[in-house]
Amino acid sequence: MIDVHAHLDAFEDVKDVIKEAKKRGVKKIVTAGYNLLSSKRSMKIANEFDGVYAVVGVHPENVEEVDKNYLEDLKSLAINKKVVGIGEIGLDYHFTTETKEKQKKMFIDQIELANNLGLPIVVHSRDAMGDTLEILKTHTPKFGGLMHCYSGSIESAKELLKLNFSFSFGGVCTFKNAKNVCAVIENLPLEKIMLETDCPYLAPVPHRGERNEPKYIPLIAEKIAELKNVSLEEVVNETTENAEKLFNLKNH
Ligand SMILES: [Zn+2]
């Protein structure tokens, strides 16, 4: 299994966290940066451990902290061999809409960086699906994209499928109040689905509220198997193949 979205730089005991995950069959992890410092840390962790890869980028909530050289800085990280994408990037209007225009520009600039470097993107979109879709339609990623922790509608998911996007799901789909997310999973083809934790946040049931770790990925795989009414083995094989393909893991 592959955890396509983790924040390994949040862990003091990252070595043990990776070891525990591998013990439970989570052989590969893509760790995501959310600003320059976190992207740099993610790249270092990827370089240190087998089976760990990084995506580097600036999360929309950190739009105010970047300086004019950030794209150059990101590029110098992105050319590292273990860096497999640009992320997490996107739009987040949950806490403020005041930075909307800045967020949009930063999103577009980072999509273009990914296109120039031949890398896929990992998108975070919260309370901003309309603008997210609009940007992705006019600035479509050329090397694929992943909507992480997707919480949008089935209709938006269909639009994103046309743009060749995949979707990753984590702990939220195991929550009792997750009817919307579960309905989306039921409607998506398995070849567009991947597994994620978004750890250390959003631990799945029965660990809800605790620290999340990649070792809980099997719980997500089980839930998706149940929702799609297929075997666990099929979910494991298919989601692994999907992640290997999007991030071109065999060549990194
Ligand atoms: Zn994340």
Rounded to the nearest angstrom, the distance between the alpha carbon of 194 and the centre of ligand 1 is 14
The sheet with strand 52-56 has its strands ordered as 2-6, 28-32, 52-56, 83-92, 121-126, 145-148, 165-169, 193-195
C-alpha of residue 79 to centroid of ligand 1, in Å: 21
Give 234 Cα–ligand 1 centroid separation in angstroms.
Answer: 26
Every domain of the chain and the residues it spans? 2-251
DSSP designation for 204:
P
* Separation of alpha carbons 75 and 57, rounded Å: 9
Q: Which of 11, 12, 5 is nearest to 32 (CA)?
A: 5
Cα 232 to averaged position of ligand 1 atoms, centre (Å): 25
Strand partners, 145: 121, 165
Burial of 127 (0-12, 13-18, 19+ CB in 10 A): middle
| pLDDT in single tens digits along all 252 residues of the chain | 999 999 999 999 999 999 999 999 999 999 999 999 999 999 999 999 999 999 999 999 999 999 999 999 999 999 999 999 999 999 999 999 999 999 999 999 999 999 999 999 999 999 999 999 999 999 999 999 999 999 999 999 999 999 999 999 999 999 998 999 999 999 999 999 999 999 999 999 999 999 999 999 999 999 999 999 999 999 999 999 999 999 999 988
Q: How far is the CA of 31 from the centre of ligand 1 (A)?
A: 9
Residue 91 CA, ligand 1 centroid: distance in Å: 13
CB atoms within 10 A of CB 41: 19
Environment of ion ligand 1 (residues, CB < 5 A):
198
Return d(Cα 33, Cα 99) in angstroms, integer. 20
2-251: CATH superfamily: Metal-dependent hydrolases (3.20.20.140)
Q: What per-residue confidence (pLDDT) applies to 46? A: 98
Q: Which residue has the tokens 């992705």?
A: 136
What's residue 200's pLDDT?
97
Give the distance (Å) from ligand 1 centre to CA of residue 183: 22
Expressed in angstroms and rounded, the spacing between residue 33 Cα and the centre of ligand 1 is: 8
Is the CB of residue 122 less than 8 Å from the CB of residue 110?
Answer: no
What does the angle CA 62 – CA 87 – CA 124 come to, to the nearest 5 degrees?
70
